[in-house]
């Protein structure tokens, strides 16, 4: 496989065609070697328009989904980001490359360990990985400029909203399989949320999310 040609094709034929045109986002996909974050047995699929299995029913999101997510959040350097569900670590690396300030939490120990190894191999800076349950975490209210949830929920956990600063953005997939909607929610100064729909999807459920407190709009 010609890796650089495959990478270029992924960007031009998949990501750009899904109206991801933010040059910073496209540069991240050029600079960070996606193939190094894919499980070895699936490496030939690194640039495909597919979700790649990570075990435990978890998946690496499609390039087009990750591109739309990053563009929708409109992140800037220095913003503090929380990622819930580290997965392979590829999206973590993208977030760290853009902002330089990422905390990522992964509930599955072996997935977290592999992600840490993937990120360490790249010498990724500006991030802190935690193994644990985000629904049990005790982050301060207003601690983050952006939160990325790489799994789905039936309804938005209240604590995720509280963790956002005024003006903060939350990416999350909401709904019931097979009809879910990937959203960016923006918190106002008063705590109200505005909602932007990014794409239709069907993502694995966030472990334990069914029992989470529900935020009322």
**Helix pair angle (90-99, 23-31), 10° resolution:** 130
Range of the domain at 54: 3-211
Position 215 pLDDT exceeds 70: no
pLDDT per residue over 131-169, tens digit each?
Answer: 999 999 999 999 999 999 999 999 999 999 999 999 999
- Is residue 217 included in any domain, yes or no? no
Give Cβ neighbours of residue 80 (< 8 Å, ≥ 6 apart).
99, 101, 103, 143, 144, 145, 146
- Is residue 144 included in any domain, yes or no? yes
* CATH code, domain carrying 47: 3.40.50.150
Position 214 pLDDT exceeds 60: no
pLDDT at 212: 45
- Return the HEC string of 52-120: EEEECCEEECCHHHHHHHHHHHCCCCCCCEEEECCCCCHHHHHHHHHHCCEEEEECCHHHHHHHHHHHH
Phi, psi angle pair for 77, to nearest 5°: -60, 135
Counting the structural domains of the chain, the total is 1
Smallest Cα–Cα separation from 124: which of 107, 141, 99?
99
pTM beyond 0.85, yes or no: yes
Give Cβ neighbours of residue 136 (< 8 Å, ≥ 6 apart).
none
The three-class DSSP label of residue 16 is helix
Q: What is the 8-class DSSP label of residue 204?
A: P
| Arithmetic mean of pLDDT over the chain | 94
- Is residue 95 included in any domain, yes or no? yes
Position 196 pLDDT exceeds 70: yes
Please give the order of strands across the beta sheet that includes 102-106: 127-131, 102-106, 81-84, 144-153, 164-176, 179-187, 193-201
Strands 164-176 and 179-187: antiparallel
- Contact at 8 Å (CB) between 185 and 208? no
- Is residue 148 included in any domain, yes or no? yes
pLDDT at 1: 66
- Is residue 216 included in any domain, yes or no? no
Position 213 pLDDT exceeds 50: no
The three-class DSSP label of residue 148 is strand
What is the share, in percent, of the chain residues with pLDDT greater than 90?
94
């Amino acid at each position: 496989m010609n890796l650089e040609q495959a990478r270029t094709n992924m960007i031009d034929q998949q990501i750009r065609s899904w109206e991801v045109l933010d040059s910073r986002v496209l540069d991240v996909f050029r600079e960070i070697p996606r193939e190094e974050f894919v499980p070895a047995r699936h490496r030939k699929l690194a640039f495909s328009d597919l979700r790649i299995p990570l075990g435990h029913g978890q998946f690496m999101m499609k390039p087009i989904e990750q591109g739309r997510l990053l563009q929708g959040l409109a992140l800037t350097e220095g913003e503090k980001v929380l990622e819930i569900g580290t997965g392979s670590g590829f999206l973590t690396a993208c977030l760290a490359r853009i902002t330089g300030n990422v905390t990522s939490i992964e509930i599955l120990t072996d997935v977290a360990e592999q992600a840490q190894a993937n990120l360490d191999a790249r010498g990724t800076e500006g991030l802190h990985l935690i193994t644990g349950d985000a629904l049990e975490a005790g982050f301060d209210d207003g601690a983050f400029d952006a939160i990325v949830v790489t799994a789905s929920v039936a309804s938005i956990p209240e604590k995720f909203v509280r963790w956002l600063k005024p003006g903060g953005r939350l990416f999350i997939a909401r709904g019931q399989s097979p009809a879910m909607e990937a959203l960016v929610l923006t918190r106002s100064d008063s705590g109200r949320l505005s909602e932007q729909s990014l794409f239709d999807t069907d993502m694995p459920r966030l472990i334990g999310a069914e029992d989470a407190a529900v935020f009322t709009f």
